Amino acid sequence: MTEISFHFNAPDKLGYACRLLRKAFGAGSRVVVTGSPEQLRELDTTLWTFGALDFIPHSHASAQGQRVQARSPIVLAEAPRSAPHQQVLVNLGEGLPEGFERFERLIEVVTQDDGDRMQARQRWKHYADRGYAIVRHDLAQAQ
């Protein structure tokens, strides 16, 4: 069963995602990131400019062939069901990520925005109603 965690109170969703992906890449994890097309385009740009000394290799599912995707440790995909990796899924979007149940782990990133929090509550309820154990990480308390 997929391990689900919510990372609440992210002050900057894309900045937090970049730090999370840097950590995952350093640990050798294979990650799929899903969200809206705009979020993924912005994340792609942010990953290239995130740090002067950091390179976080990634590819976009819609722009690359399957061979490149399979070799890339991080894949940005609007439709994660078709992504090559099944280890970690990071959801930056508002809705339930399609095919999340095939991943070992799902990380939901949630900002302090009221609308984002409301959408996250609906996803939390969906997962809890289906018997998934959920871990809550409050990023405001971690600081």
What is the domain partition of the chain in residue ranges? 3-142
DSSP annotation of 102 reads G
How many C-beta neighbours within 10 Å does residue 130 have? 10
Structure-model confidence comparison of residues 142 and 137, the more confident one = 137
Residue 37 CA to residue 76 CA, distance in Å, equals 9
User: Please, where are the H alpha helices in 50-79?
Assistant: 66-71
pLDDT digits (tens, 9 = 90+) for 92-136: 999 999 999 999 999 999 999 999 999 999 999 999 999 999 999
Please indicate, yes or no, whether the overall pTM of this predicted structure exceeds 0.85. Answer: yes
pLDDT the model gives residue 142: 67
- The answer for residues whose C-beta is within 8 angstroms of residue 86's C-beta and 6 or more apart is 102, 103, 104
Whose tokens are 């965690």? That residue is 5
| Structural class in CATH, domain 3-142 | alpha beta
In this predicted structure, the answer to whether residue 54 has a pLDDT above a threshold of 90 is: no
Residue 106 CA to residue 83 CA, distance in Å, equals 14
